[in-house]
Amino acid sequence: MASLRTMAEATNRYAVITGANKGIGLEICRQLAANGVIVVLTARDEKRGVEALESLKGSGLSNVVFHQLDVGDPASIASLADFIKTQFGKLDILVNNAGIIGTLVTDPDGFRLGIPAARNIKNEWAKGVLSDAENLTEERVDEVLNVFLKDFKEGSLEAKSWPTFLSANTVSKSALNAYTRIMAKKYPTFCINCVCPGFVKTDINYNSGILTVEEGAESPVRLALLPDGGPSGQFFLQKEVSEF
């Protein structure tokens, strides 16, 4: 790993991309690496992650390494954190791309462009909590998720005005956006933003999107490469600041 340290010292930028073995995540790795960033490509499945790494190396990008990561497993997270600390000593960029669709069976014709923002939640109480930037706390976000889960289990999503199409996916993304604002306030010297890349052709939507993965990755990469003092606590719809 000494060569990685040498490269990292020269570029002074280190990045971790979660859920990066394919789709937008893999393309974000490619574009960041092409910009000279030392990239840690992560994936739950080690075999797929290594294959993705080899594809990048095959295109001439040597400043990428792989590390297994399951964002739902505390031990896996601790292992990655130890790796970063031992090999690099710091982390400059984190792109939180990993996610699941939240359902086993989907209708490919049902996908459409959807902005994962609080305003897309019709439950007025939940929308009010997640949109209240001044009073947002982790506890309040947890409360929204707990109420949603209770209503989901009771089969009352429609009656309570929760999303009924990919409901878990929609609500969890809105909650994560809210959490982004909390973190941005907590760490004012960091640039912490969230971004909707647009309707991108990926496996998760049966490649029914409009944008290519190259186009979809452009906005997250632009935010990842912002200089110190850039915008923070913002929600971007591709390259434009949008309402939460």
Cβ-contact 4, 87 below 8 angstroms: yes
Report pLDDT for 5. 55
Of 99, 114, 131, the last residue of a domain is 99
Mark whether 43 and 74 lie in a shared domain: yes
Report pLDDT for 105. 43
Q: What percent of the chain has pLDDT over 90?
A: 77
Mark whether 207 and 151 lie in a shared domain: yes
For 154-183, the pLDDT digits (tens) are 999 999 999 988 888 889 999 999 999 999
Structure confidence at residue 116 as a pLDDT band (50, 70, 90)? low
Report pLDDT for 3. 56
Domain with residue 187: its CATH number is 3.40.50.720
Confidence (pTM): 0.87
Domain count along the chain: 2
Mark whether 230 and 116 lie in a shared domain: yes
Q: What residues make up the domain containing 66?
A: 1-99
Mark whether 2 and 65 lie in a shared domain: yes
Structure confidence at residue 204 as a pLDDT band (50, 70, 90)? confident
Mark whether 56 and 153 lie in a shared domain: no
Mark whether 85 and 123 lie in a shared domain: no
Of 99, 121, 142, the last residue of a domain is 99
Mark whether 84 and 124 lie in a shared domain: no
Q: How far is CA 168 from CA 47, 66, 71, 124, in A?
A: 28, 29, 17, 17
Backbone φ and ψ for 35, nearest 5 degrees, come out as -90, 10
Contacts of 163 (CB under 8 A, 6+ apart): 120, 121, 122, 157, 170, 171
Beta bridge partners of 43: 68
Report pLDDT for 15. 98
Mark whether 151 and 82 lie in a shared domain: no
Report pLDDT for 187. 96
Query: Which residue matches tokens 């309402």?
Result: 243
Of 99, 117, 151, the last residue of a domain is 99
Report pLDDT for 102. 55
Mark whether 174 and 159 lie in a shared domain: yes
Structure confidence at residue 237 as a pLDDT band (50, 70, 90)? very high
